[in-house]
Chain A
Amino acid sequence: MRLAVYNGLSCGGCDPVFFLDVLEELGLTSSDIVFWPKVSDRRLRDLESQPPESLDLALVTGAVSTSEQIRLLKVLRSRSLRLVAVGACALWGGVAGLGWLEGSGPEPVPEIVTPDFLLPGCPPEPETFRKGLKQALSAKTSSSNQIVGAEDFPLCEECDRRRRPFRLRNFQRWHTCDPEARQCFLQLGVPCAGPVTRAGCQARCPRAGYPCLGCYGPLPGIEDPGERLLSGLVSALIPAKASQALETLVDPVGSLYRFNLATHPLLRKRKCPDE
């Protein structure tokens, strides 16, 4: 197995999961590491000198924001048989995508090249990583932008918090909740991305006491998860109190598009007006 890993614009948290929690379990420890700056002394020229499609597996774990990163990403694409984009930054721009609110931010990988597989998470849980890469490595036919590792059903199905039908008078901020409360965050009035987000992480954040941030990305068929979540939240408001209640929802764009603002349809329109 000939292998390359490139981080791009990211926190560098995805590839340690690959190195430490995936390599051994997937039997990849005898791989020839052609390029992976974090663990190898090989330089960029070593990657550039590879023949086309000579790498069995290449991972990219970050977004891109400079011409050099775009160039490197294209080199990686052309040299690899399977390119897997890993993590929220690579797939949708990640938290740095919030920079678009200030006028500039990163581009997700699929905007530049077409990865074969997309493996979501911030970072992907080790189980997701292993499952996703097994799928990618065993695929017989070529794919493009196929989500692997995560589930097709909503995160709420993995969440153990108590859920009952509810109506909301207003929204609540997370730090004002009782940390020991075990009810559904939405029932408490705290925005939680669970209903629009893919499962697969075993709802780790809600179980730990933090609302889902949405890092496994939108469910299949949802193009604008923030809008869908907002629509769901608003439908739970008591109609007579709705306008007052909406005043208590702070930073809607930041909380509803935490990892995927860089892929928002309106932003794409602004970037590419002719589309």
Chain B
Amino acid sequence: MSRRIVLNPISRIEGEGSLEIVLDTRKGLREVRFHSDLFRGFEIFCKGRPVEEMPALSSRICGICAEAHYLASLRAVEQILGITVPLTMQKIRGLFLLTSLVRDHLTVLYLFAGPDTEDRGGADSLSWLKEQGLWSDFLASRRRLSRMLEILGGRRHLALGGFPGGWLRLPSEKEIEEMVSLVEEEKNFALRTWEFWEARFPKEEGEKFSWPLVALTGGLDGFLGERITVGSPEGQSLRSFRADKYRQHFREEETGPRGLRSTRLKEEGIYLVGPVARFLLWPPPPSLHNLYHRLKQCFKQFPWSLPHLLRVFEVLLALDKMASWLKDLDLKGREDSSHEDLFREEGIGVVEAPRGLLIHHYRVDEKGLLREVNIITPTAQNYKPLISSIQAYLKNKNLNLSKEVLLGLEKLIRTFDPCLPCMLHILSPYGHQRININSKPKTKI
């Protein structure tokens, strides 16, 4: 006999999906399944499109981390066009990516995870933000970050602005001054965010993990790095390699009839990407030493909120870095890289997206039209660790699936910050019939 428990939808995560827990009344937990109807087939319908259009198309993969997809795609396009990017333009891109990282992390911290600090069910983020007196400050922060993206990328949502070899619209001196003050104001909000989360630092232990870690090599500059580091669960670097050689180290495998594909390290198996991997693999930052060492201590106990605290830490670091880039930004004498009108066959673009390593891999024909598209997203890489964490959590609770246990389960899922629109080839509609192209017209109501 088996029993099913379905959480539909999983609340306060990016994208709509459900979780099905299948219990065997005698043997206990049989299976945990994620379902989502969000399959859009990006890697299929992008074939045949001109490669230069891919950054704008791929920013539609995810409305939350659009800028990370945009930049990874732009970098893949540049490889295909054989372009290297001047340093100043790299800094503009860094500002663009870190602004979106701060916005993304704050969205997770306040909209998704915030109500979890209260330990009660039935919450919605709007009432919670208002109750905590955070609503207007949070909106003000959003406005600042959206304004930054508007200056850098022309739009506040799904910003663009990239151009192969450079950047389309460089900020004026006045706009740079404006960004300097926006970053300063945002730092104050970030410090308050730290105080808020620290005050709610829970004592209870979370699920410890023992997965190898993967991130782009380097500190904050590593967000736009070109090498990948593989490390032990404790953060010791095992090896590093050029990102365009990723296929020599990762294996993508079809896992089952549902067209799912997951990524593994050829040697170590499943692995973790994201804030935890970055914190442990990257060298200690030049600032925020105290916070860094306090967080390092937390790994012994690994409270459930640790990944969220690491997000706040990254927000603080990113704002420091943005301030220093803005100070040195010299935009006099614009230099864009030129390129020949020739398409190389292959391009691989990587960035550290807010949720972790993101790879865009394209192959094109002689006209520069896409022949193959493979996009490996952080959520796809973290899928297996997430499922095994859920299984471990449920086993620890002796399969007593009370309301509190299920709330705790969703809390655990949110620490992974899964993004379902990003899951691309990981999730396909399951158990729900797809519309038949030849079906009769549907009845309208």
Q: Report whether A66 and B158 are in contact in the complex, using a CB–CB cutoff of 8 Å.
A: no
- In Å, the complex CA distance between A105 and B14 comes to 22
- In Å, the complex CA distance between A125 and B149 comes to 13
Within 8 A of A (CB), among B242-288: none
Q: Could you say which of B49, B167, B334, B336 has the most chain A C-beta atoms within 10 Å of its C-beta?
A: B49
Q: Report whether B53 and A255 are in contact in the complex, using a CB–CB cutoff of 8 Å.
A: yes
Q: Report whether B369 and A251 are in contact in the complex, using a CB–CB cutoff of 8 Å.
A: yes
Q: Report whether B60 and A39 are in contact in the complex, using a CB–CB cutoff of 8 Å.
A: no
Binary interface encoding of chain B residues 312-349 relative to chain A, with 1 for a CB under 8 A from any of its CBs, else 0:
00000000000000000000001010000100000000
Within 8 A of B (CB), among A40-80: 40-44, 64-70, 74, 77-78
Task: Say whether, besides A37-B16, A96-B41, A123-B63, A29 and B135 are in contact (CB < 8 Å).
Answer: yes
Q: Report whether A12 and B437 are in contact in the complex, using a CB–CB cutoff of 8 Å.
A: no
- CB A41 to nearest CB in B, in angstroms, measures 5
Number of interface residues of A (CB under 8 A): 80
Number of interface residues of B (CB under 8 A): 85
Instruction: Of the listed stretches A161-169, A173-181, A229-237, name the one at the interface; the rest are far from the partner chain.
Output: A173-181
- In Å, the complex CA distance between A58 and B8 comes to 19
- In Å, the complex CA distance between A131 and B413 comes to 36
Q: Report whether B440 and A272 are in contact in the complex, using a CB–CB cutoff of 8 Å.
A: yes
Name B160's contact: one of A39, A210, A272 (CB within 8 Å).
Answer: A210
- CB B311 to nearest CB in A, in angstroms, measures 17
Name A123's contact: one of B157, B440, B445 (CB within 8 Å).
Answer: B157
- CB A23 to nearest CB in B, in angstroms, measures 7
- In Å, the complex CA distance between A19 and B15 comes to 15
- B contact residues around A68 at 8 Å (CB): 37, 429, 432
Q: Could you say which of A36, A39, A101, A275 has the most chain B C-beta atoms within 10 Å of its C-beta?
A: A39
Provide 27 A-B residue pairs closer than 8 Å at the C-beta atoms, listed in order of the A residue: A6-B16, A9-B40, A12-B14, A12-B62, A36-B124, A40-B123, A43-B8, A65-B37, A66-B37, A66-B429, A95-B57, A96-B41, A102-B41, A102-B47, A104-B437, A106-B40, A123-B63, A125-B155, A125-B156, A125-B157, A126-B156, A173-B368, A174-B52, A175-B164, A250-B368, A271-B438, A272-B440
Q: Which 3 A-B pairs have the closest CB atoms?
A: A13-B63, A208-B154, A209-B168
Known: A42-B11, A250-B367. 17 other contacts (CB 8 A): A12-B15, A21-B146, A29-B130, A36-B124, A41-B122, A42-B124, A65-B435, A66-B432, A67-B434, A68-B37, A70-B435, A95-B60, A99-B45, A102-B44, A105-B41, A122-B158, A175-B52
- Interface residues in chain A, defined as those with a beta carbon under 8 Å from any beta carbon in chain B: 6-14, 16-17, 19-21, 23-24, 29, 31, 33, 36-44, 64-70, 74, 77-78, 94-96, 98-99, 101-107, 111-114, 122-123, 125-126, 173-176, 179-180, 204-205, 207-210, 213, 250-251, 254-255, 270-272, 274-275
